[in-house]
Structure 1
Amino acid sequence: MFGAIAFGAVFLVVGLVLAGVSVSFLADAERAPGTVVALEWRNDDSGASRKATQNDKPAAYPVVEFTSADGTPRTFRSSTGSNPPSYEKGERVEVLYRADSPENARINGFASLWLLPLIFGGIGLVIGGIGTAVAVVGRRRSRG
């Protein structure tokens, strides 16, 4: 039980830290219009742990061009891909970036800002909650 609670707590903390990073990024971010100029299709290989299933489908990662506040044209590849693609070539998007590091831009979208915090936080809540419930029920049974 303790292992499940600890595992869940670690995932929940990671989710909260990632959410904090997104909130901090949003607080300091500049905004600029951008255009998806390409979709980069690639497989998410995770080495030896990769299983040969329907998850072998490649994901589309948008490549976005925008002009930062200093007038410099910039291009970045989103770190969030999907299949089917979330964006189409030529689609206009809002770009968020920090003035001191415009190369680390993100598309202003749910997945690029909140997907990882929700996944980690959700897994943490579920596993930690199950571990806590099992521990509480076990403790009540041992007393009764």
Structure 2
Amino acid sequence: MRFQVRGRGARRWITFGTIAFGGLFLVIGLILAGVSVSFVTGAERARGTVVSLEWRTDQSTGTSRRSRVNNQPMAYPVVEFTPAHGTRRTFRDSAGSNPPAYTAGERVEVLYQADSPEDARINGFVSLWLLPLIFSGIGLTIAGIGTGVAWATRRRS
């Protein structure tokens, strides 16, 4: 597929738009990484147990049938833990997978906020770092392509 953009101004705007779009994704990724870093540094740790797996197709989150190839259900671990100064709590982790990353009865480390133990996550890569990594990676790639095109175009003219 080949298309032609007429005029230098249009090319500059397209290049600028590409860099800005990539920059926006990069900023979102960095904000998400900052939220994860803030959560981890201020979190208390406890041992937890995966009590069950909640299988969901995630239709409620806006995922359409066309956007996921196989539309198979995802397994979300339901974890039970006891905070240092509190009663036993149960939460469903926000990261699901298929095949399941955890099995019922598996011991996991739980991170939670001392002032609000209901805000808890499994101490794992997917739960804490996957989303910031995806957004930052997409942002760097798109902004890098836009910057490379701008640099090559500038050198040519």
TM-score bracket relative to the smaller structure: over 0.9
CA distance in 2, matches of 1:18, 1:52: 23
The answer for the alignment partner of 2:107 in structure 1 is: 92
The structure 1 segments of at least 4 consecutive aligned residues displaced by more than 2 Å after TM superposition are 44-50, 52-55
Which residue of 2 is the match for residue 20 of structure 1?
Answer: 34
For residues 27-84 of structure 1, the C-alpha deviation after alignment (integer angstroms, 9 at most, x for no partner) is 1100000000111111123547540753301111000000011131000000000111
Change (3 A) 1:55 1:44: farther
- TM value normalised by structure 1: 0.93
Distance 1:97 1:128, change over 3 A: same
TM-score, normalised to structure 2, is 0.85
1:127 aligns to 2:142 (yes or no): yes
Aligned partner of 2:97 among 57, 82, 102: 82
In structure 2, relative to structure 1, the CA distance for the partners of 1:48 and 1:93 (3 Å cut) is: closer
Residue 54 of structure 1 aligns to a residue whose secondary structure is: coil
Question: Partner letter of residue 90 of structure 2?
Answer: T
Work out which of the two has the higher radius of gyration on C-alpha atoms and give 1 or 2: 2
Distance 1:67 1:53, change over 3 A: closer
Task: Identify which range, 54-63 or 76-85, moves more after superposition.
Answer: 54-63
Where does structure 2 lack aligned partners over 5 or more consecutive residues?
1-14
